[in-house]
Amino acid sequence: MHGLKLFVKGGKSDAITALNIIGNTHTDMCSASKLYLTLDFTLWNGYANLAIYNANYMSTIIYQNKGILESIPDLTFFNLARNVVMTGSPQVFSSGLAFEPDVFSRYKAFAPYAYYKHGVIRLYDLSLSYVYQTSVDSEWYYNLESRKWDNASSILTERHQRNGSTDIQDENIVMYFAKQEDGYWSQPYFDCGFSDIWLVTFSVPIFGQDATGKPAFKGVAFIDMNLNDTDINQCDLDDDDESIDIFLNVFRGTHECLPDTKCQFLPGLGFKKGGYSCLQVNGSFSNSEGTYSLTESHELFYK
């Protein structure tokens, strides 16, 4: 299981509200649920870099092809998405690219997408069933498309190459590229009807250049992070359980143990409420099923 810090401005009451939403969200009768939490995603920077790499690679390809990607086989884009899932799974549930209409003449929309489910990586054009370019509900796209990118990061590159045995004249190129701070992290949401898991999406812009050489938005690269394997620790923050810095600290202190008991965190349950037992003074645990010794409690829990 993997830890991630979340912070809620409203404190404990908002954390309890979030726990209730999580507890009431079921795959058999679900609806699109979202948790309005402020998160610290620094533990996932390595995964975000996978999307950033794809975005900057596509920016380079767009420049080299003068803004149009007609000559690039579709499978190339699907392979980029698939490689991210292969590298980042199971934490990375899915990955993709999504382009503006002017990047392909043969497609008004194109969103090569790869996702990992039931042990198989599947490839799919997300644009066939999902309108992402014009919908404010597609916040992972709209949030970046609507920004002003006049001050996008740039770097001067020098290229010297040859064609067979013939040198080609050196070329100086200004390239625009995306960084961590250019990206957008979504709120945690339950992906009802497709993956049926809790996800967080990170997206980052793909750049081209307009006629004057200024940066132009051309699409996004994105990843969907799987929250289902992230444990929720509801025990008190001052408990010396060696997990304070790596678990969901916003939920600390939301347990329902009696005052004369001690909350004992039970790792391995994932993104759900109730991952704890209440340790009594005599060394036994209590929960809604009764009171057990430490050994009995673990046997009942894990059998």
Query: Which two structure tokens, joined as six digits, stand for 123?
Result: 């490839």
Higher pLDDT: 37 or 76? It is 76
Q: Could you tell me how many helices (H) and strands (E) the chain has, helices first?
A: 5, 17
User: The CATH number of the domain where 173 resides is what?
Assistant: 3.30.450.20
What would the pLDDT profile of 41-97 be if each residue is shown by its tens digit? Answer: 888 999 999 999 999 999 999 999 999 999 999 999 999 999 999 999 899 999 999
pLDDT number for residue 241: 52
Residue 204 counted as domain residue: yes
- CA-based angle 183:187:52, to the nearest 5? 20
- CA 288 to chain centroid: 34
Higher pLDDT: 253 or 32? It is 253
What would the pLDDT profile of 255-270 be if each residue is shown by its tens digit? Answer: 999 988 989 889 889 8
pLDDT band at 244 (very low <50, low <70, confident <90, very high): very low
Q: Are residues 275 and 187 in the same domain?
A: no
For residue 68, CA distances in Å to 148, 209, 253, 258 come to: 22, 11, 54, 64
Residue 299 clears pLDDT 60, i.e. is over it: no
* Among 226, 244, 272, residue at a domain's last position: 226
**Domains in the chain: how many in total?**
2
Q: What is the span of the domain harbouring residue 52? A: 41-226
Residue 262 counted as domain residue: yes
pLDDT band at 251 (very low <50, low <70, confident <90, very high): confident
| pTM for the full predicted model | 0.83
CB atoms within 10 A of CB 287: 17
Residue 59 counted as domain residue: yes
- CA 166 to chain centroid: 46
